[in-house]
Amino acid sequence: MPMIDYRNLKIAILGGGNVGANVANLLLTHRDELEARVGAGLEVVGVAVRDPAAERTPAIPAELLTTDAHALVTGADIVVELIGGIEPARTLVLEALRAGADVITANKALLATHGEELFEEAAQVGAQLHYEAAVAAAIPIIRPLRESLAGDRIRRILGIVNGSTNFILDKMDTEGWTTEEAMRVASELGYLEADPTLDVEGYDAAQKAAILAGLAFHTRVPVDAVHREGITKVTSDDIAAAKAAGYVVKLLAIAERVRSPLGGEGIVTRVHPALVPREHPLAAVHGGHNAVFVEAEFAGSLMFYGAGAGGVQTASAVLGDIVSAARRHLAGGPGVAESTSADLPILPFDAVSTRYQIVLEVADVPGVLAQVASAFAEHGVSIEQFQQSAARGEDADPTATLVVVTHEARESALAATVEALNGSPAVRRVASVIRVEGL
Amino acid sequence: MPMIDYRNLKIAILGGGNVGANVANLLLTHRDELEARVGAGLEVVGVAVRDPAAERTPAIPAELLTTDAHALVTGADIVVELIGGIEPARTLVLEALRAGADVITANKALLATHGEELFEEAAQVGAQLHYEAAVAAAIPIIRPLRESLAGDRIRRILGIVNGSTNFILDKMDTEGWTTEEAMRVASELGYLEADPTLDVEGYDAAQKAAILAGLAFHTRVPVDAVHREGITKVTSDDIAAAKAAGYVVKLLAIAERVRSPLGGEGIVTRVHPALVPREHPLAAVHGGHNAVFVEAEFAGSLMFYGAGAGGVQTASAVLGDIVSAARRHLAGGPGVAESTSADLPILPFDAVSTRYQIVLEVADVPGVLAQVASAFAEHGVSIEQFQQSAARGEDADPTATLVVVTHEARESALAATVEALNGSPAVRRVASVIRVEGL
């Protein structure tokens, strides 16, 4: 057996939910192995919970449970915050840092809204603040961005970072389920948050996008600056049309470096459904899986793929942070602060140029194509591809479906085009507008 | 502009080849940005080369070039070893560590053969020794294994870690090229090492496998303990047969935790061609790309994908290590030593159980199937699937092809079966034996 240091590191866990219970259980059942890796004792001094009587899977030994999180934080070497939400998590993390502890958190909402405050406090006291589990659960993405790619220039990140919406879109694509069916099954499987809006309206993905963008571009990105659209407007028709055209619909979290209208570069961060070409590696990310695709100037394209949720999967990332923090705690020397050295301007969503697929229902009469084409041309949006389906409806008043794919265009130009199309007599309805990404 | 620390970190680069020239160039041309990320000056004090007059792309300013690597190492804060090979790289890295420098290396051969000595020296003096570029170039895999997954239990790693052999096998599969054509093009594109044996016989992959296995299992794995088979025996027929059966042939570096015949667990590390099911994420790794698939007890399956070679891509990983090392250098505190805490037994190759595809040419006579089946049964190898192709050859003496896929079997049992098949009167030839992985 390797020698164990005389030191015993005290670990306090805040939160006894699914992730907290798994972290406590793995720390207790794999204690010898983890201690050998660290080279010191790893003692769980307590797990702070709201209701000690609640049933937990896996179970936490009763003698470790406490309702006094504030007392638990005092005297711990490493505090693991798995409560979620803003308060009391924020106050407890700050207390822990001020008391000299290193902190591990999986709390994306807290980091996306109060990251600046926490990182500054950690830098001030020289503590470590790790958060590998906050984005894409068990997939190592924080450390690769923060360290392995720290010398590169990232151009763009495309991430599938919400497992439940990926499950829903994937089942609609591969099994032909309706939105309602897919939502129901996702809910039954426990894939959706208690408030499903957090998933399907893209709030969860937006928090993760803000964290990834900040790391990738060395710039503080507030979650309010993330343009956010959910998947609730995506229909089975959209998915079928995408499939026919060689695309798959994914909810993407996108952070990219773009040319600023004021000169220089800035960043735009956004979450919305997008068409991804079938041959793109992200198209093969099925079910509840997550993946983050990184385009870097020197490294080229990289992808990180794995499970994006789950108690034990998320616990894996938390344990990795605990072992890393414990090793550094023993070695001595302060934590390395977050870098916001680039401090790039955060640009409005309209700074984005991308491609679009627009599905139109039009009157099947002569001249309609010319009308539609000129609406695009007038707003400087160039068309890459036109496809017209057979007309349907009554013979006297037939309706045809037009699918238009554009070249790269600005959001504002596209919005003006859509407005013009809506006012065009030949256009019955703009059925859908979806961005095309990954090209 | 962010404030730059009064400190100036001196960086010495050893080696002015493709990677060295790119690292020097990026450090010089992106100096402001990298200094802002670190928070201190980053000064390239010199690049040690054999021949200062040699032409380099990108060029290195002549005043930085020196032939005296030993002098350059003295007084540097960070030494970047990009010479490759064992000597003088080994001596220079040891000199750098003893002189108090942190060391970055991309030298897989050195780490796989003298890692123990270097890691011990680094631990002794409290220096950092980083090597993200040593495996799979720009793909962050070292840090994820060493830190993000440090609390997990890895069961198995399957890696495509040699780009040139993946290019060759991929072109044979997707374009129907012969081995000779694919080798020739790979060579023309500069994908093969000066001595192509290093690639095609699996030496390069074996070095990387030893490094990955050591990290994943917290155990020192000498490269001599890696079972190694190259791709030279893989024929177009093998690839066509694999394709027909829904597989693709890949050269895999495999490290896995297996049950030891003596009780407990041990590890086996191996490099050989393998059939991978088409639906496995590794099957979609085309051309010169690399990918590492990790199966962990808690995290589940993860994949890391990207460019596996190239001067600027490898430089990305080296720069990430330089920025990380510089940040830690400034923060103070020693480097965190490598963990070999598990020290698992390294088992002989025969401890592996896997599945096999065996292609046999047999006489097309009654009773041959029974003869073949009993050869398998006698050695305890269970057959999952049999497939017999139409007979060919002269009517008087027709030859049929039998493709057999086994259930999991031990190497020794399979070897004994093949020996029995070779001695069987009905079997004309054992045309190929390829392991099936990724199930």
Contact B307 A301 (CB under 8 A): yes
Whether B220 contacts chain A with CB within 8 A? no
Nearest alpha carbon to residue B80 among B12, B27, B134: B12
Q: Which fold, B142-308?
A: Dihydrodipicolinate Reductase; domain 2 (3.30.360)
Contact B2 A319 (CB under 8 A): no
Nearest alpha carbon to residue B301 among B309, B292, B293: B293
Say what the alpha-carbon torsion angle B391, B396, B397, B402 is, to the nearest 10 degrees: 20
A198-202, B194-198, B320-324: segment of lowest average pLDDT? B194-198
Mean pLDDT for A120-148 is: 95
Q: Which fold, A142-307?
A: Dihydrodipicolinate Reductase; domain 2 (3.30.360)
- Here the tokens at position B30 are 């992106």
Calculate what percentage of chain B has a pLDDT beyond 70: 97
CA atoms within 13 A on the CB side of A207: 22
- Here the tokens at position A310 are 């789950």
Query: pLDDT tens digits for A290-344?
Result: 999 999 999 999 999 999 889 999 999 999 999 999 999 998 888 888 888 888 9
Contact B151 A299 (CB under 8 A): no
Q: Which fold, B8-137+312-331?
A: Rossmann fold (3.40.50)
Share the mean pLDDT of chain A: 93
Nearest-by-Cβ selection for B299 from A126, A153, A316: A316
- 8 A C-beta contact, residue B141 and residue A305: no
Nearest-by-Cβ selection for B303 from A149, A150, A305: A305
Whether A303 contacts chain B with CB within 8 A? yes
Q: Which pLDDT does position A1 carry in this prediction? A: 44
Q: Which amino acid is residue B157, in one-letter code? A: I
- A233 as an active site residue: the answer is no
Query: pLDDT tens digits for B208-234?
Result: 999 999 999 999 999 999 999 999 999
A396 or B51, which is more confident: B51
In whole angstroms, what is the distance from residue B273 CA to residue A347 CA?
49
Q: How confident is the model at residue A392 (pLDDT cuts 50, 70, 90)?
A: low
Query: pLDDT tens digits for A205-239?
Result: 999 999 999 999 999 999 999 999 999 999 998 99
In whole angstroms, what is the distance from residue A259 CA to residue A292 CA?
23
What's the helix, strand, coil split of chain B in %, to 5?
40, 25, 35
State the CATH class of domain A352-436: alpha beta
- Residue labelled with tokens 């270097």: B118
Sequence-ordered list of residues with C-beta below 8 angstroms from that of A270, at least 6 positions apart, any chain: A209, A226, A227, A228, A253, A254, A255, A349, A352
Q: How confident is the model at residue B4 (pLDDT cuts 50, 70, 90)?
A: low
Q: Which pLDDT does position A394 carry in this prediction? A: 62
Whether B324 contacts chain A with CB within 8 A? yes
CA atoms within 13 A on the CB side of A165: 30
In whole angstroms, what is the distance from residue B289 CA to residue B161 CA?
8
ipTM confidence score: 0.92
Whether B26 contacts chain A with CB within 8 A? yes
Mean pLDDT for B2-23 is: 87
In whole angstroms, what is the distance from residue B324 CA to residue A34 CA?
25
Q: Which of B208, B233, B243, B250 is catalytic?
A: B208
To the nearest whole Å, the CA of B247 is away from the closest chain A CA by 17
- Residue labelled with tokens 């256009």: A427
A439 or B199, which is more confident: B199
Contact B305 A310 (CB under 8 A): no
Q: Where are the domains of chain B?
A: 8-137+312-331, 142-308, 352-436
Is the pLDDT confidence value at B1 over 50?
Answer: no
Nearest alpha carbon to residue A308 among A140, A130, A161, A105: A161
Q: Which pLDDT does position A21 carry in this prediction? A: 97
* Shortest CA distance from A25: residue in chain B: B298
